[in-house]
Structure 1
């Protein structure tokens, strides 16, 4: 019964992965009829390239900031939405709504907001006598800009998952902690948050994988990768930008795949030890 699905997964997932690894050993221009085998030459070129530190640095900063920001803000929002207040159902829907929106649409709307000349944010800043930062033209601010937008879009996912975890906590434990004199803060940090460790572990893995593969918002808001050249966006630029270097792009994609594999393995090996499932 599982064989058809396994065959589809093998053909559409693992076969392209293996083919991409083979392409990474070629000096191949996209669309060319022939290619030259260079072995690990593309990998050596990438790691010795002067652009490699910037690409790896942008990837690390973007991943840490978006994963940490989404999870921390998502947890705070989930705690707020877990309270019995009027309109909480509407608030939960509003918080989760950005997550299901198209990344292209989100990027275009926020690009208008951050535009230093015609943007809504620049108009607000000018109305109080302040100059608008050059969000799009400054490489450092461009990275901050896409981080803010990505966190805004994805914190609703973390909030909903954390909310489900909060609602599944054993109430007898919470009531016992309250009877023992633990205040709201102590109950949260010493009881609720440790019991949420399976939820935190799940979100850490899924958010990390999602952030390392983030593309649509970066592509829309910074088409040339001005300070936002993460690994996956650099692979896109090398293959479909001005270079058309399909083999070199495939090598960058393999580097990203190995990085994802290592990060997931480290989490399963070390982080899961601190997870309390019971």
Structure 2
């Protein structure tokens, strides 16, 4: 009887989450899978067209490959930079100095500012004629740039903008750094280990599970980049589609041109790409992660 009562309590307390998952996540996902095989526009009854959306995607749509290439370029630059800068920043802010809490707050605050607001701010900073970025370069006698208006510079500029939010990852790194046992550093010092040896052989291995977590989350997030590119290009993906990222293109197909069947097919291709990359990283990079016994 006690076991049955506990079972009833379990389902009673988890029912809101289960219902929400079915109605708001699993249900829409399955419906989008069905739509990916139709010519749905969001109006009227969708008609089944089989694999035509996927065939068009891979063989007839140059913007599919363009958006995919833009996204991969952004991912390959932004993810390593965010991991390294966020981690090194956390190491610096882990020092025991006066007013360290204020410095941590200053570096964390940008990560909670709405993305649209920060994108508009950076648009002004990188404005070619009166932006701060070119003013600083000109002051030091360095060549200026068109930044977001340049086909060559728009993606690197968006990567620079992405570093504005490393404070969120920095806090997670900082929490893991403060969990590293001090006794390990003391033992290493007795053995004559240098600062670099302590960092590389103690700090990095102990915090590697958090680094691995940030790698996975950073990869997934970078493959879904949208807001920054949409704001700085005014919804066009310019110049010359250089800021047309994959989710940006997906949004245009599904909600601007009302090709919801094609947009759903794009979404499922992205889902498969993220799934494959995640499994690959878990299989090959995950082996390098150090887990303490009992974790």
**TM-score class, shorter:** over 0.9
One of 32, 36, 40 as aligned partner of 1:28: 40
1:169 corresponds to 2:183: no
Counterpart for residue 209 of structure 2: 198
**Mean CA deviation greater in 97-106 or 256-265:** 256-265
How far is 1:4 from its partner?
Answer: 2.6
Give the counterpart of 2:155 among 143, 147, 150.
143
- Deviation per residue, 1:116-142 (Å, 9 max, x gap): 123222233344555531122222311
Q: How does 1:120-269 map to 2 (within 5 A)?
A: 120-128=132-140, 132-153=144-165, 155-222=166-233, 223-226=235-238, 227-241=242-256, 243-269=257-283
Given that 1:231 and 1:253 are in contact with CA atoms closer than 8 Å, whether structure 2 keeps it comes out as no
Paired with 2:291 and 2:187, the residues of 1 have a C-alpha distance of: 20
Are 2:90 and 1:75 equivalent residues in the alignment?
no
Structure 2 runs not aligned, ≥5 long: 1-12
2:6 corresponds in structure 1 to: none
Shift of 1:270: 2.8
The separation in 2 between residues aligned to 1:215 and 1:51, in whole angstroms, is 16
Question: Structure 1 length normalisation: TM-score?
Answer: 0.93
Question: Which aligned segments of 4 or more residues in structure 1 are displaced greater than 6 angstroms?
Answer: none
Query: Contact between 1:59 and 1:230, CA under 8 Å: does it hold in 2?
Result: yes
Secondary structure of the 1:140 match is coil
Question: Across the two proteins, how many residue pairs are aligned to each other?
Answer: 275
Q: Is the 8 A contact 1:99 1:157 kept in 2?
A: yes
How many Å separate the matches in 1 of 2:152 and 2:41? 31
CA drift at 1:94? 0.9
Deviations 1:72-120 (A, max 9, x none): 0011101111111222111111111111110000000000000112322
Shift of 1:266: 2.1
Q: Does 1:88 align with 2:103?
A: no
State the secondary structure of the residue aligned to 1:2.
Answer: helix
